[in-house]
Structure 1
Amino acid sequence: MRYILLVFIGACSYGILSTIVKLAYGQGYSPAEVIGGQMFFGFVLTWLPALFFLRTKPQMRQLLLLVAVGLTVGTTGIFYYNALQYIPASVAIVLLFQFTWMGVFAEAILSRRLPDKQTVGSLVLLLIGTLLAGGLFESGGLEQFNLIGVIFGLLSAVSYTLFLLSSGKVAITVHPWVRSSTMATGSLLLASLIYPPVFLFNGALWDGLFPYVFLLAFFGILLPTVLFNFGIPHIGAGMAAILGAAELPMAVISSYFILHESVSLLQTVGVIVILIAIVLPEWLRQRGKRKNSTSNE
């Protein structure tokens, strides 16, 4: 339960990002400045504590693999933030949320084992709740689709699925803080290649950009990456994908309270369905364990 809670909190922290990004875009900052700044400060924030855990140096092969995993973190942010330029956040997050079934499907292939009934039932509820919470059944919901935005949104889902799969399997003997900082290094390298860090020199950073990118780095790089690195190796990518659905309710809640966006009754129902889908599989497993222990007695 402790590791499940860690992954759940990490997923919730991701839900705040779309609100912060929309605020930054509203101030006129570009995706290059927002993404580059997030990756730069994510690198700084994760390496500061990691320096205290470098007593045993990881192997070069482990470091390279972790940098590669960090590339998936970077591409997820790049694809998702670019999708937000073409489609509303509600639609973009629905597309990103395809990682829920992608993650379970990929783990089933890799483990050569079909998901249990609890997981399948949870996935069905998640998909229903995601469509409701994303507002696709509202008037004009489907009219908000843009082909470029849809492609970026689906690519972010694929990239996030790869992150969930690899973060629980790659170099798990390395300390989680060092794993997180090395991943952040990979994200920074990728972002710097696509978006050169001109924000460090053009004055934008200290002209209002800093609060946005610092918060994005904290909630989008430091907190979730560290919590996932502690938790996912113990619960698996399939359960992590289900817990990752906590991102959408948090996105709806933060946009309501911070951006003062309206939330319809259907969206509220969708959020409740998602929360039930997250809790349901573990509750059923615990219930089954109690029944088995009672019958054995």
Structure 2
Amino acid sequence: MTKYILMVLAGAVSFGILSSFVKIAYQQGYSPAEISFSQAFTGALLLWLLARIVSPGFSVRSVGRRQIAALLGTGATIGLATFYYYVSVHYIPASLAIVLLMQFTWMGLLFDWLFFRKRPSLMEAGISAVIIGGTVLAGNLWGNTDFHVSWTGIFYVLLASVLYAGYIVANSRAGKHMPNLTKSAWIMTGSALAIGLVNLPSLATESHLGFALGQWALFLALFGTVIPPVLFAKGIPHVGAGISGILMTAELPVAVITAHFLLGEQLTTTQLIGIVIMLGAIIAMNRYRVRKVKPVAAN
């Protein structure tokens, strides 16, 4: 169980470093549609190439159309979550956006309860509350009296949070008997298709397509659409949707720390306290989950 927990955490860390680099790309004139679509499209190509190398004998016929449709739908959720999150940071501060995105933690547990009757334990609910409190501190919102924020940005990031939670639940149940790279390739194909369809008019008229954008696409694809999905595809089915949602909150402290060192953004004592609270809660949940699973494995 420990190695699967580490896989989910590593995927979250990979996601966490992206926002700083995306902000740099925005400074160079690229749009959320260009960045998110090129990232997903390049990632899908890389995953299909790796899938053919690692599992050359795998046949799609052994899976069925329903499974493929489920994987494409799973990809659509993470693709649109990424796109709408990228859009939101144009309207609201990055610290507020990441804090609101972290609401997928309790949303994942709620979805598991509502749709699959998997009621969260008191421990899971309590740790979720602690993590949510930690995100408020880590986002530097404690004592902030400036409420002049864009409701458009808040809408987009909350929409991204709902889609992110749906992705976690869907990924934990779709394509369980498929090779991980092939599963990830189908998911990223769905991601690229969804982002492309939503942004078709703007992408058709963009003038930034070229080698420079390709460099950004390759870098962001590796850390945003290749490494995390592969790790999530392997780890989430073993860890479970609810716990995975909690583990993936590691994206927040990583994003804050990366922004501090790469972009020179302020990192206050309050934020550090919030990060410590979150990491402590995540570690506590890991220990709880491992102790809970060990007796079952012994039987």
Structure 2 length-normalised TM: 0.90
In structure 2, the residue matched to 1:149 is 153
Retained in 2: the 8 A contact 1:88–1:144? no
In structure 2, the residue matched to 1:81 is 86
Query: Partners in 1 of 2:241 and 2:293 — Cα distance?
Result: 22
- 1:144: how far off? 5.1
Query: Partners in 2 of 1:115 and 1:239 — Cα distance?
Result: 10
2:140 is aligned, of 114, 135, 138, to: 135
Query: Partners in 2 of 1:17 and 1:215 — Cα distance?
Result: 9
2:76 matches 1:68: no
2:40 matches 1:39: yes
In structure 2, the residue matched to 1:256 is 260
- 1:168: how far off? 0.8
In structure 2, relative to structure 1, the CA distance for the partners of 1:81 and 1:203 (3 Å cut) is closer
In structure 1, the residue matched to 2:58 is 56
In structure 1, the residue matched to 2:124 is 119
1:234 is aligned, of 234, 238, 263, to: 238
User: Unaligned stretches of 5+ in structure 2?
Assistant: none
Retained in 2: the 8 A contact 1:87–1:144? no
2:220 matches 1:216: yes
- 1:245: how far off? 0.5
Retained in 1: the 8 A contact 2:85–2:160? yes
- 1:95: how far off? 1.2
Retained in 1: the 8 A contact 2:111–2:166? no
Q: Which amino acid aligns with 1:56?
A: F
In structure 2, the residue matched to 1:166 is 170
2:96 matches 1:91: yes
Q: Which amino acid aligns with 2:232?
A: F
Taking only the aligned residue pairs, the percentage that are identical comes to: 37
Listed one character per residue, the Cα deviations across residues 192-228 of structure 1 (whole Å, up to 9, x for unaligned) are 222348589845432x323322222111111111101
Query: Partners in 1 of 2:95 and 2:142 — Cα distance?
Result: 12
**Moved beyond 3 Å, runs of 4+:** 196-204, 284-290
Retained in 1: the 8 A contact 2:75–2:187? yes
2:114 matches 1:109: yes
Listed one character per residue, the Cα deviations across residues 161-193 of structure 1 (whole Å, up to 9, x for unaligned) are 110000010121111110100011111111222
In structure 1, the residue matched to 2:274 is 270
In structure 2, the residue matched to 1:8 is 9
Structure 1 length-normalised TM: 0.91
Which SS does the other structure have where 1:10 is aligned? helix
2:196 matches 1:205: no
In structure 2, the residue matched to 1:19 is 20
Retained in 1: the 8 A contact 2:81–2:161? yes
Q: Which amino acid aligns with 1:17?
A: L
Query: Partners in 2 of 1:280 and 1:210 — Cα distance?
Result: 41
- 1:56: how far off? 2.5
Q: Which amino acid aligns with 2:42?
A: F
In structure 2, relative to structure 1, the CA distance for the partners of 1:189 and 1:279 (3 Å cut) is same
* Structure 1 range deviating more: 6-15 or 33-42: 33-42
Listed one character per residue, the Cα deviations across residues 27-85 of structure 1 (whole Å, up to 9, x for unaligned) are 11112211121112111121110113141313222212111111001110111011011
User: Unaligned stretches of 5+ in structure 1?
Assistant: none
Query: Partners in 1 of 2:76 and 2:117 — Cα distance?
Result: 27
